[in-house]
A and B are shown apart, each in its own frame.
With several copies, the nearest count.
Chain A
Amino acid sequence: MARLLLLGPAREAAGVRNDVFEGPTMEAVLSEAVTRYGAKFEAVLEVSQVWLNGEPANLETAVESYDEIAVLPPISGG
């Protein structure tokens, strides 16, 4: 299983900060996440970036066990 890390507005929309998913691709994980969390999460996801193990990823990126996927809405630090 891969771990999904949901931060800020993505965490709020999903209702959880951590979850686990099967691959095999980023697209599969994210569409399963939309099914699981609903429309509010989908709206946040649309403006977010996704990372795999700390590096930018896209929908085709393969997802394996122990990978960490992060959903990063637009940031507001500082």
Chain B
Amino acid sequence: MVGKLLGVPGEHDYRMRRVSSTPTSNWVLVTPDQLSLESLATWATRPNCGAVVTFSGVVRDHSRTRENVIALEYETSIEMAEKRIHEVVDEARVRWPSLEAVAIHHRVGRVELSDATVIVAVSSPHRDDAFDAARYCIDTLKVSVPMWKRELWEGGSAWSDESSPIVNARDR
């Protein structure tokens, strides 16, 4: 089980990093449960950080090729996806060393209209870094994390055709 060996869930990572002299932290989660923007943003808010930027991807009622979408359904290997999201976060920290907290949560399974499919929350002393890093995280997640989306409508469903070959986080 490659993910078990190479990936660790966010909470564990958090505890490990807390003992370092410059405490930073990651919270990565791929889950069938509803996502909470408030949880991620509150968790990312730190007394030494002036800026918290969040991105929420939400299920919309249309796609590039289809109207009347009523839900999305995501399929993945949770451990493989979490490992790859950790690589996105690690690369973001290399590029923006001022980052404090970085949280990325992604849904699997069925997600209803207007619900969040993915949330990125980033804190930094500087807002430019927070904006740039949040954008890098979502842009890179979309092309580097194994995840497949079905569009559901009344009476049918199909794989999304907005797909791209998988690449590595540091190649973005």
A75 adjacent to B6 (CB under 8 Å):
no
Instruction: Let me know if B83 and A72 touch, CB within 8 A.
Output: no
In the complex where A5-B77, A9-B159, A54-B6 touch, is A75 in contact with B138 (Cβ < 8 A)?
no
Question: Hey, what's the 0/1 contact readout for B78-117 against A, CB within 8 Å counting as 1?
Answer: 0011010000000000000000000000100000000001
In the bound assembly, the distance between CA atoms of A74 and B161 in angstroms comes to: 9
Task: Classify chain A's interface size.
Answer: 10 to 19
The B1-28 residues at the A interface (CB cut-off 8 A) are 1-3, 6
Q: Which residues of A contact B75 (CB under 8 A)?
A: 7-8, 11
- Contact in complex: A78, B164 (CB < 8 Å): no
Complex alpha-carbon distance, A8 and B77, angstroms = 10
Docked Cα-Cα span, A49 to B3, in Å, equals: 18
Listed residue (B3, B77, B117) with the most chain A CB atoms within 10 angstroms of its CB: B77
Q: Which among A5, A8, A9, A73 has the greatest number of chain B C-beta atoms within 10 A?
A: A8
Task: Name the CB-closest residue of B to A53.
Answer: B2
Given contacts A7-B146, A11-B75, A54-B6, contact A74 B80 (CB under 8 A): no
**Interface hub of A8, A49, A68, A78 (most chain B Cβ within 10 A):** A78
One digit per residue, 1 when the CB lies within 8 angstroms of any chain A CB and 0 when it does not, for chain B 54-92 equals: 000100000000000000001111001101000000000
Residues from chain A with Cβ under 8 Å of B3 in the complex? 54
Cβ of B46 under 8 Å from chain A: no
A8 close to B159 (CB less than 8 A): yes
Evaluate contact between A77 and B77: CB separation under 8 angstroms: no
Interface residues in chain A, defined as those with a beta carbon under 8 Å from any beta carbon in chain B: 5, 7-9, 11-12, 47, 49, 53-54, 68, 70, 72-78
A-B CB proximity, top 6 nearest = A8-B148, A77-B147, A74-B163, A54-B2, A78-B142, A76-B163
